[in-house]
């Protein structure tokens, strides 16, 4: 079984509907989805706030490259145009970590796993911890608890990730 942690975000158009499109598109593969957070933009580009969430999905048919193709399909379907780095976007779907029997380490021209900047982004770690409180992520020093990595960020970075009160639906499932 291949398991992936995805970070999804949008700050253009119907932000919530764009996030929901990923959950809907993955269907039964989704095993957990976080609450939705509103976050200040990351980087140096002036732009509107993002809606962000994290999800965990499982599908034995996908490896890291397969998950990347799926992520890029969702972005294309949402009209994503790759323009300015860290600029506004209709939909951003990032692979944060991928697991087979262990966490996959991938260093390829189009894919680096685990995501090399995830541990610096509160908008990734806060939603991830909401659905997997014991999450671990491999960084330069080795595997670390995501909660500890988040605690090491500046308080302003953590404060920039706020509960929105919005949720994403796992359609066709009973709680």
Residue 113 lies in a domain: yes
The number of C-alpha atoms within 13 Å of 101 and in the hemisphere containing its C-beta is 0
User: What is the residue range of 117's domain?
Assistant: 3-163
Query: Is 90 exceeded by the pLDDT of residue 48?
Result: no
pTM of the model: 0.91
Residues classed as catalytic: 80, 89, 92, 94
Domain count, the chain: 1
pLDDT tens per residue across span 150-175? 999 999 999 999 999 999 999 765 44
User: What CATH number is given to the structural domain containing 53?
Assistant: 3.30.70.560
Q: Kindly state whether residue 173 falls inside one of the protein's structural domains.
A: no
| Residue 135 located in a structural domain | yes
d(CA 2, CA 24): 19
């Amino acid at each position: 079984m291949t398991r992936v942690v995805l970070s999804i975000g949008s700050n253009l158009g119907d932000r919530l509907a764009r996030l929901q499109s990923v959950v809907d598109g993955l269907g039964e593969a989704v095993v957990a989805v976080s609450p939705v957070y509103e976050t200040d933009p990351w980087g140096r580009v002036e732009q509107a706030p993002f809606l962000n969430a994290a999800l965990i999905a499982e599908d034995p048919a996908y490896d890291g490259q397969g998950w990347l193709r799926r992520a890029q399909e969702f972005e294309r379907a949402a009209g994503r145009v790759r323009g300015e780095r860290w600029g506004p976007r209709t939909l951003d779907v990032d692979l944060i970590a991928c697991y087979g029997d262990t966490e996959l380490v991938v260093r390829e021209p189009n894919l680096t796993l685990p995501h090399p900047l995830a541990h610096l982004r509160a908008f990734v770690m806060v939603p991830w911890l909401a659905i997997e409180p014991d999450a671990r992520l491999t960084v330069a020093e080795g595997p670390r608890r995501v909660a500890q990595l988040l605690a090491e960020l500046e308080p302003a970075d953590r404060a920039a990730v706020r509960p929105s009160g919005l949720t994403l639906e796992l359609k066709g499932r009973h709680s």
